[in-house]
């Protein structure tokens, strides 16, 4: 009977609008939920098969939920460096536990990036889900794979200890006074035969100078440079200069201070590391060609490759002209390159006071972790109070062919479904994935004005469906009352 079908159509209307009301209620309740994606009840008509000449049978309406998962919310600035948002497409990969992940453990996807460091140092969001990323290996490389979740690891920033960085480069900006008076020791060294007090790097050197006893040769100018060893310990190198009787040439020595910091081979004494001549052009610049021509007599025969190579403390005994760090220091081998020809200055000889403009070195003493930064490419970087930075991991982003078809789960996260298609893991800013915004959170996509308008229309539609039922009921009552 058509009246019965009308009654059932009214019931389907009540059911469909109840589902629509539930979706609206869920949206309004999550208006301030980070990364929440709104849902909406959508209606489709249901038509029954009709028999010719038997009247019309109402089918009613059916409600289905549509999830606007691909709709992005506005990014809002926060004060926490571990709050993360995504500007563009993609989802953070998260897990329900941090350690001992097995292939069968669930991997979820979310845009709720309110991550905090837990008591074990892992990044965990407010739903208790742990952030996954590609770790940085011992060589500083990241091995990514677009389809292998097994390569991801829970990002841990609490396991990063202190660090140090050995010095590998020294840039010296200094001037030697060209009108410096030639010392008696340099004059004796030029005499034939050499005088009694002649400068000699083996027997009467600047490294032997003792101002209290007067032993050795007093340098005309000396520069001390602090360097860091492999453990972050502070060592000192001294560069001593003595003007020669030959114009535009200076005797030079590089030594360790104190001398006990190094073990030297033959031809080196009192902590010496390198001895030889330094030559300058007539306009005061370092004369690379002249030093090359001096060969073994030069401090560095190739100033462009001026390097000191320290052997490790436990290394074999140094050969002639070689040197190791002292055994009691217990430190690793080290190479330190000298930049004496820097465009900004370098080592010069002008007729002004001998002075050090600057000594620039890399390497740092031991430092502790001070903060963690995450850049737009998703690189998680530890910053230490000694200025050293170290990459820890890179946040992985997952994209889907149909993100609106992902299955919602508790914690404002999603699972892969048949309709969503398989995931693709990407680095931020590549292959359609968005950029990571640190100290930002994605706002809910709920628009209250839209939801309140939907409340009104849903309420009216529900009332109208109830009127269908009451009207059909009255018609049935009228039909029953025909026979009395």
Q: Are strands 61-67 and 39-45 parallel, antiparallel or unpaired?
A: antiparallel
CA quadruple 458, 462, 464, 465: dihedral, nearest 10: 130
Residues 141, 56: one domain? no
Give the model's pLDDT for residue 371.
83
Give the model's pLDDT for residue 60.
85
Q: How long is the chain?
A: 484
Residues 390, 459: one domain? no
Is the pLDDT at 51 greater than 80? The verdict is: no
Mean pLDDT along residues 54-72: 86
Considering the chain, what percentage of its residues have pLDDT values greater than 90? Answer: 67
Give the model's pLDDT for residue 137.
80
Give the model's pLDDT for residue 215.
93
Give the model's pLDDT for residue 141.
80
Q: Report the distance separating Cα 456 and Cα 454, nearest Å.
A: 5
Q: Report the distance separating Cα 335 and Cα 313, nearest Å.
A: 14
Higher pLDDT, 300 or 47: 300
| pLDDT tens-digit series, residues 254-295 | 999 999 999 999 999 999 999 999 999 999 999 999 999 999
Mean pLDDT along residues 76-91: 93
Grade residue 50 by pLDDT with cuts at 50, 70 and 90.
Answer: confident
| pLDDT tens-digit series, residues 372-409 | 899 999 999 888 776 777 888 999 999 999 999 999 99
Is the pLDDT at 110 greater than 60? The verdict is: yes
Residue entry with tokens 């690379």: 288
Pick the range with the lowest mean pLDDT from 78-82, 114-118, 361-365, 375-379.
361-365
Give the model's pLDDT for residue 346.
87
Residues 90, 167: one domain? no
Residues 100, 133: one domain? yes
Domain boundary among 316, 348, 367: 367
Give the model's pLDDT for residue 1.
57
Give the model's pLDDT for residue 218.
96
Q: Two tokens at 141?
A: 């490389």
E strands, 96-248, where? 107-110, 115-117, 123-125, 130-135, 153-154, 163-165, 169-175, 221-228, 234-243
Grade residue 168 by pLDDT with cuts at 50, 70 and 90.
Answer: very high
Residues 245, 178: one domain? yes
Residues 59, 90: one domain? no
| pLDDT tens-digit series, residues 200-231 | 999 999 999 999 999 999 999 999 999 999 98
Residues 414, 391: one domain? yes
Considering the chain, what percentage of its residues have pLDDT values greater than 70? Answer: 97
Residues 238, 385: one domain? no
Count the domains in the chain. 3
Give the model's pLDDT for residue 383.
84
Domain boundary among 315, 341, 367: 367
* Domain range enclosing 395: 75-161+369-442
Residues 226, 289: one domain? yes
Residues 449, 387: one domain? no
Instruction: Please tell me the pTM assigned to this model.
Output: 0.64
Geometric angle at alpha carbon 408, from 407 and 411, rounded to 5°: 145
Give the model's pLDDT for residue 449.
92
In whole numbers, what is the pLDDT of the chain averaged over residues? 90
Q: Report the distance separating Cα 202 and Cα 251, nearest Å.
A: 13
Give the model's pLDDT for residue 397.
95
Is the pLDDT at 41 greater than 60? The verdict is: yes
Domain boundary among 312, 334, 367: 367
Residues 230, 350: one domain? yes
Mean pLDDT along residues 107-113: 94
Grade residue 30 by pLDDT with cuts at 50, 70 and 90.
Answer: very high
| pLDDT tens-digit series, residues 337-346 | 998 887 567 8
Burial 11-44 (b: 16+ CB within 10 A, else e): bbbbbbbebbbebbebbeebeebbbbbbbbbebe
Residues 118, 10: one domain? no
CATH code where residue 216 lies: 2.60.98.20
| pLDDT tens-digit series, residues 354-375 | 999 888 888 777 777 788 899 9
């Amino acid at each position: 009977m058509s009246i019965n079908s009308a009654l059932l159509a009214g019931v389907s209307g009540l059911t469909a609008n109840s589902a629509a009301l539930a979706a609206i209620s869920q949206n309004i309740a999550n208006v301030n939920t980070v990364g929440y994606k709104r849902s909406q009840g959508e209606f489709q008509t249901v038509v029954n098969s009709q028999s010719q000449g038997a009247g019309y049978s109402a089918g009613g309406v059916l409600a289905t939920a549509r999830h606007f998962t691909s709709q992005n919310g506005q990014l809002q600035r926060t004060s926490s460096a571990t709050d993360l948002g995504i500007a563009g497409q993609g989802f953070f990969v998260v897990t329900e536990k941090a350690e001992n992940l097995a292939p069968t453990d669930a991997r979820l996807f979310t845009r709720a990036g309110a991550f905090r460091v837990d008591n074990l140092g892992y990044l965990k969001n407010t739903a208790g889900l742990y952030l996954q990323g590609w770790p940085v290996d011992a060589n500083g490389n990241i091995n990514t794979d677009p389809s292998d979740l097994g390569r991801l690891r829970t990002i841990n920033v609490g396991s990063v200890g202190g660090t140090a960085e050995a010095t590998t480069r020294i840039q010296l900006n200094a001037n030697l006074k060209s009108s410096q008076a030639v010392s008696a020791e340099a004059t004796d060294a030029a005499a034939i035969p050499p005088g009694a007090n002649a400068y000699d790097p083996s027997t009467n050197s600047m490294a032997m100078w003792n101002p209290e006893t007067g032993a050795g040769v007093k340098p005309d100018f000396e520069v001390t440079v602090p360097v860091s060893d492999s453990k972050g310990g502070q060592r000192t190198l001294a560069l001593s200069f003595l003007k020669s009787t030959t114009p535009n040439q200076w005797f030079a020595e590089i030594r360790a201070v104190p001398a006990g910091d190094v073990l030297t081979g033959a031809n080196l004494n009192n902590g010496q590391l390198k001895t030889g001549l330094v030559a300058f052009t007539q306009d005061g610049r370092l004369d690379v060609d002249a030093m090359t021509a001096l060969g073994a007599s030069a401090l560095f025969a190739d100033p462009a490759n001026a390097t000191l190579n320290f052997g490790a403390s436990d290394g074999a005994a140094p050969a002639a002209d070689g040197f190791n760090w002292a055994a009691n220091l217990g430190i690793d081998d080290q190479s330190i390159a000298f930049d004496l020809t820097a465009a900004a200055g370098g080592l010069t000889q002008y007729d002004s006071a001998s002075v050090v403009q600057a000594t620039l070195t890399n390497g740092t003493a031991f430092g502790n972790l001070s903060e963690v930064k995450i850049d737009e490419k998703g690189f998680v970087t530890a910053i230490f109070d000694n200025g050293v930075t170290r990459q820890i991991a890179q946040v992985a982003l997952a994209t889907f062919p149909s993100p609106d078809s992902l299955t919602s789960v508790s914690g404002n996260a999603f699972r892969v479904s048949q309709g969503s298609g398989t995931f693709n893991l990407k680095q931020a800013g590549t292959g359609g994935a968005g950029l990571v915004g640190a100290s930002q959170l994605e706002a809910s996509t709920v628009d209250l004005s839209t939801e309140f308008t939907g409340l009104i229309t849903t309420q009216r539609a529900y009332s109208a469906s109830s009127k269908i039922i009451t009207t059909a009921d009255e018609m049935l009552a009228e039909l029953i009352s025909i026979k009395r």
